Amino acid sequence: MIEIKDLSKTFPARGKDAPVEAIHDLNLTIRDGEFLTVLGPSGCGKTTLLRIIAGLEPWDHGSISIDDKDLRGPGPDRAMVFQSFALLPWATILQNVAFGLDVRGVSKKRREERARELIDMVGLKGFENRLPGQLSGGMQQRVGLARALAVDPEILLMDEPFGALDEQTRRLLQEELLVIWEQSRKTVLFITHSMEEAVLLGDRIVLMSPRPGRIVDIVDVPLVRPRASAVDSIEGSAEFASITSDLWQRLREMQTFRRHHHQDEPAA
């Protein structure tokens, strides 16, 4: 369980730009085994929040604890999947998937064994000795996912992982992610700017708004689990449509509010 209390982070002023309050007084509890999606427009702080939880970014106020232990930098209990895939271009797929284990000092034999398991799980058997440059975007992200799962983290942190992919690949990977997740039920924190994706994948949706970054609402997604085998019928259902359009209303209101609000603000 991840407990975040009164979290605040401000990026200091740079040159002529004013300081940016990325996150303001954020409170959130992430339950074990839940698939939590974070949705919001650019600049709402969702990526910053993820990075802080990953241990990549310090924060200014507030506390974060995982299973009652204070967060201190990156750790073996969390693994991240990146929007840009972040694969080492000079290393083979096998080496890339084994990367997290390698850094932790796992023996070559064991880590390669584990890597092969995961490469198979994400459907890339046979590609172990290729280089990332020889793979398509969707395949590269599967490698990224395999790498994250290889270290068997309790928490999976996913930063708009399908954002750089075309729509068909995205949909396939969403389904595949559900299949994989439903087998292991890890805690997942999934950042997205797509409402459909947030509803399809998540148990709860955290809606964030920018300037300053804060949680506006947390929406439950009452769609049944497991969903992997029923993706098409879910997406066609009335329930899905109503939750999605409700979210879109909220997001739209955020934009309108900002537009009106800015008329009263002095020029930044």
Partner 1 sequence: MSSVASSPGVTRGGGLTGRPRSFSRRVADSPWLYRLASVAVVGTLWQLSAMAADSIFIPTFTATAGAVVELIARSDVWEAFWLSNEALLFGFVSSVALGIPLGFAVARLRGIEPLIDPYLTILLVVPMAAIIPLLIMSLGIGMAARVVIIFLFTFPIIVVNARAGVRQVDQNLIEMATSYGATERAIWRRVLLPGSLPPIMAGIRLGLGRAVTGMVIVELLLTPVGIGGLIHESRARFQSAELYGVVVLVVVEALILISIARALERRIAPWARGTALSD
Cβ-based nearer residue to partner 1, 26 or 81: 81
Identity of the residue numbered 118: L
Of residues 24, 178, 111, the one with CA closest to residue 119: 111
Cβ-based nearer residue to partner 1, 36 or 151: 151
Cβ-based nearer residue to partner 1, 134 or 229: 134
Cβ-based nearer residue to partner 1, 123 or 137: 137
Residue 13 has which token pair?
């002023």
- Applying CB under 8 A, the residues found at the interface with partner 1 are 54-56, 74-76, 78-80, 82, 84, 86, 88-91, 99-100, 102-104, 127, 130-131, 133-137, 139-140, 151
Cβ-based nearer residue to partner 1, 112 or 247: 112
How many Å from the N-terminal Cα to the C-terminal Cα in the chain?
A: 39
Min dist. Cβ of residue 141 to partner 1 (A): 10
Min dist. Cβ of residue 103 to partner 1 (A): 5
Tell me the C-alpha distance between 28 and 206, whole Å. Answer: 9
Cβ-based nearer residue to partner 1, 88 or 218: 88
Query: Cα 122–73–203 angle (5° rounding)?
Result: 50
Min dist. Cβ of residue 249 to partner 1 (A): 34
The per-residue b/e assignment along 21-60, b for 16 or more CB within 10 angstroms, e otherwise, is bbbbebebebeeebbbbbbbeebbbbbbbbbbbbbeeebe
Min dist. Cβ of residue 144 to partner 1 (A): 9
Tell me the C-alpha distance between 168 and 218, whole Å. Answer: 29
Tell me the C-alpha distance between 80 and 150, whole Å. Answer: 11
Identity of the residue numbered 24: H
Min dist. Cβ of residue 67 to partner 1 (A): 18
Tell me the C-alpha distance between 44 and 24, whole Å. Answer: 10
Cβ-based nearer residue to partner 1, 62 or 75: 75
Of residues 32, 111, 107, the one with CA closest to residue 66: 32
Min dist. Cβ of residue 10 to partner 1 (A): 21
Min dist. Cβ of residue 8 to partner 1 (A): 22
